[in-house]
Amino acid sequence: IAANDGGRVCELAGDLHESDVGDLIENLEPDDRPKLIELLGKEFDFAALTEVDETVRVRLLEELPSATIVEGVRELDSDDAVYILEDLDEAERARILDQLPAPDRVALTRSLDFPEESAGRRMQTAFVATPPFWTVGHVIDHIADTPGLPETFYEVFVIDPAFKLLGSVKLDRLLRTRRSTLMRDILEELPRTVRATDDQEQAARLFERYNLVSAAVVDDADRLVGVLMVDDILDVIEEEADEDLRALGGVTGDEEISDTVLYTARSRIPWLLVNLCTAFFSASVIGLFEGTIEHMVALAVLMPIVASMGGNAGTQTMTVAVRALATRDLGGHNARRLVRREALVGLANGVTLALLVGLTAGTWFENPELGVIIGTAMVVNLVCAGLFGILIPLTLDKLKADPAVASGVFLTTVTDTVGFFAFLGLAAWWFNLH
């Protein structure tokens, strides 16, 4: 298709939704991507670029002529435009901003001045606002008669002459109210506005909590500067959940499915190196008991069981704790109770597992004392796993570090070390082997 038949391409791809065009772009060979966009010409909606992976987008933007980008960005809602511009390097971004009409340029520059991942970056700068003394009829007529209103909006904001936000009226409310009513009388006050400098995750929690579809964004002087839309928030929620999940799985950074082997390998190795150090540390704990193992090889066979069960139980606790911290369900008010709960859960499951492991191991090696020792080590390790599984994320959170990223390494270090030490140490002492 991309063999230069513009008309045919337009016909096939022109009517697709931006998300579908995004998919189409991702599935093309890299060289065909800019061609597709040029062939589509005016038919190409730059919003499709917000739907593709970052790696694909950055490369594509590098290959497109500036003029095409300028043209495309002009057509976009400000939040989508910011999304695309933030990936460009400084110089290229400045060049494109210079070619935009002044009002667009000012709005975009202001958004880009907010920190990354802030509400200010995600907001749309165009919104519908009226003074409080307008009537509902006046507002309805105004909306009908004014071209150039934002593409989508769900509420009309009411502001005073200084742009200070007084409240908002949802469109369904507007339609259900008699035309003579004043906006002042039907506005809902918004105790929960988003500040432009707020983190996008904070804004997302607000949407979830109060079931919003859009939210006013105000600056430090409480002046209305933009509006956040729920569709952007949906992406934020998905992104943040994804980040936690990847972090727990040891995948940091922004790896994407379209990355190359080399890029992926490089982005995953730091985590493996950190784990290598802790693995050597646990190995050195085993090294302390070389003499013991030499006398009783069964210990070497059984010791990974103690360590890995501790790791599994600890990971359960840690997963719950990390997620509860992210959704603010876990905090100062219930931390003490939950730490106690996790220790007791560890104890309860530790005893159950100890009985099973003790019996099996004792029978396997025809040595009941060995069964008692592995059982005891199991209880010790599971209680530690429960305690550290919640204390580590709590501490990291208190230190303002992301608990999802680093908890895992610390936790397995603890469960491996405690597991090996408790089991081998007890055995050395009981059987008097050195």
Among 64, 251, 355, 433, binds its own copies (CB under 8 A): 251
Find the DSSP H helices in 365-402. 368-398
Closest separation in Å from C-beta 406 to its own copies: 14
User: Within 76-115, which residues bind its own copies (CB under 8 A)?
Assistant: none
Helix, strand, or coil (residue 229): strand
Please enumerate in sequence order all residues whose Cβ is within 8 A of that of 14, keeping only pairs 6 or more positions apart, or say none: 40, 43
Among 67, 269, 359, 401, binds its own copies (CB under 8 A): 269
Among 81, 248, 418, 428, binds its own copies (CB under 8 A): 248
CB 147 within 8 A of CB 158: no
Closest separation in Å from C-beta 67 to its own copies: 28
Helix, strand, or coil (residue 288): coil
Closest separation in Å from C-beta 90 to its own copies: 30
Q: Which stretch binds its own copies (CB under 8 A): 3-11, 58-66, 206-214, 392-400?
A: 206-214
Helix, strand, or coil (residue 174): helix
The residue assigned the tokens 């809902």 is 188
| Contact call for residue 324 and its own copies (CB under 8 A) | yes
CB 343 within 8 A of CB 387: yes
Residue 60 host element (H or E)? helix 54-63
Comparing CB distances to its own copies, the nearer of 70 and 251 is 251
| Contact call for residue 315 and its own copies (CB under 8 A) | yes
Among 40, 81, 97, 212, binds its own copies (CB under 8 A): 212
Comparing CB distances to its own copies, the nearer of 226 and 310 is 310
| Contact call for residue 262 and its own copies (CB under 8 A) | yes
Strands (E), 260-313: none
| Contact call for residue 312 and its own copies (CB under 8 A) | yes
- Which DSSP state fits 189? P
Closest separation in Å from C-beta 338 to its own copies: 7
Find the DSSP H helices in 147-260. 171-176, 183-186, 200-210, 230-248
Q: Which stretch binds its own copies (CB under 8 A): 90-98, 113-121, 174-182, 393-401?
A: 174-182
| Contact call for residue 116 and its own copies (CB under 8 A) | no
Distance CA(326)–CA(335), nearest Å, equals 14
Handedness of CA 105, 106, 107, 113 (dihedral sign): positive
Comparing CB distances to its own copies, the nearer of 333 and 400 is 333
Among 353, 384, 391, 418, binds its own copies (CB under 8 A): 353
Q: 10 Å Cβ neighbour count for 416?
A: 25
| Contact call for residue 202 and its own copies (CB under 8 A) | no
Q: Which stretch binds its own copies (CB under 8 A): 2-10, 92-100, 161-169, 310-318?
A: 310-318
User: Within 275-304, which residues bind its own copies (CB under 8 A)?
Assistant: 275-276, 279-280, 282-283, 286-287, 290, 293-294, 297-298, 300-304
User: Within 121-140, which residues bind its own copies (CB under 8 A)?
Assistant: 140
Among 64, 131, 268, 395, binds its own copies (CB under 8 A): 268
Extract the tokens encoding 67: 């003029």
Residue-by-residue DSSP string for 20-41? HHHHHHHHS-TTHHHHHHHHHG
Number of residues that bind its own copies (CB under 8 A): 102
Closest separation in Å from C-beta 245 to its own copies: 5
Strands 165-170 and 155-159: antiparallel
Strands 129-130 and 155-159: parallel
User: Within 152-171, which residues bind its own copies (CB under 8 A)?
Assistant: 152-154, 170-171
φ and ψ of 116, to 5 deg: -55, 145
Extract the tokens encoding 297: 């090889």
| Contact call for residue 330 and its own copies (CB under 8 A) | yes
Tell me, rounded to whole angstroms, the distance of Cα 127 from its chain centroid.
Answer: 27
Comparing CB distances to its own copies, the nearer of 49 and 96 is 49
CB 379 within 8 A of CB 351: yes
Comparing CB distances to its own copies, the nearer of 2 and 174 is 174
Among 58, 67, 234, 401, binds its own copies (CB under 8 A): 234
